[in-house]
Amino acid sequence: MKKFCKSPRKMVLLTAIFICAVIAFQIVYAAVIEPGSEGDPLVTKSYIEEVMMPKIKQEILEAVKGSSGSPEQPLKFEVVSVQKGQKLIGGAGTELILRMGKATVIATQKGGLADTTQGVDLPNGVPMPANHLLIIPVDDGRGFSANEDVLVMVKGTYRLE
């Protein structure tokens, strides 16, 4: 019997052809496999890009369409002038910053205004600190009374009395 590959040159050539065939098969196999299927079970970049991202985008679009399009509260602080003797009563989540003047906190039996700058709860009748971020946690009549003309920054719902 004759040997199939007598020369080393033929052996190298056959090995190279075999390696190229294996690589070509892997490329074709990878292109045909659907991301996330049993043939491609790992969470791969292709799965994230081709399957998950379209689902996430669709959910975001549905959530945006489902919203009314206008927020309940303004997204920016607005400067409000409150005259001496007037009261500003805020809604739940309203944020206040006293910028000028003197005012007194109006609290209820459920609590006062949350002073996030100092980390305390301001009870009824205490002076409202200037330049502190205050939050009205519940819509139950909390706010402040102006001892003199004041300027306050407000983000959220409120009414003047």
For residue 86, the domain's CATH number is 2.60.120.10
Single pTM value for the model: 0.56
- Specify the residue for token string 């309940």: 72
Residue-level pLDDT at 30? 72
In 3D space, the residue among 76, 94, 78, 98 whose CA is nearest the CA of residue 137 turns out to be 94
Q: Is 38 within the bounds of a domain?
A: yes
Q: 84 and 56, same structural domain?
A: no
- Specify the residue for token string 């489902």: 66
For β-strands 134-136 and 94-100, DSSP reports them as antiparallel
Q: 46 and 112, same structural domain?
A: no
Asked which of 45, 66, 87 is the last residue of a domain, the reply is 66
Q: Is 13 within the bounds of a domain?
A: yes
Q: For residue 66, what are its two tokens?
A: 């489902």
Asked which of 66, 88, 113 is the last residue of a domain, the reply is 66
Q: Give the number of C-alpha atoms closer than 13 A to the C-alpha of residue 65, restricted to the C-beta side.
A: 6
Q: Is 51 within the bounds of a domain?
A: yes
Domain around 155: 78-160
Q: 149 and 82, same structural domain?
A: yes
Residue-level pLDDT at 5? 59
In 3D space, the residue among 67, 101, 74, 70 whose CA is nearest the CA of residue 90 turns out to be 74
Q: Is 2 within the bounds of a domain?
A: no
Asked which of 34, 66, 98 is the last residue of a domain, the reply is 66
Residue-level pLDDT at 9? 83
Q: 148 and 99, same structural domain?
A: yes
Tell me the mean pLDDT per 10 residues along the chain, length 161: 67 89 84 65 75 88 70 74 96 95 95 94 95 95 96 94 92
Residue-level pLDDT at 117? 94
Residue-level pLDDT at 1? 45
Q: Is 109 within the bounds of a domain?
A: yes
Q: Are 78 and 160 in contact (CB under 8 A)?
A: no
Q: Are 99 and 130 in contact (CB under 8 A)?
A: yes
Q: 150 and 85, same structural domain?
A: yes
User: 5 to each of 8, 16, 20, 161, how far by Cα in Å?
Assistant: 7, 14, 19, 102
Give how many domains the chain has, as a whole number.
2
- Can you give the C-alpha Rg of the chain in angstroms? 35
Q: Is 73 within the bounds of a domain?
A: no
Q: 96 and 59, same structural domain?
A: no
Q: 95 and 49, same structural domain?
A: no
Q: 42 and 104, same structural domain?
A: no
Q: 13 and 50, same structural domain?
A: yes
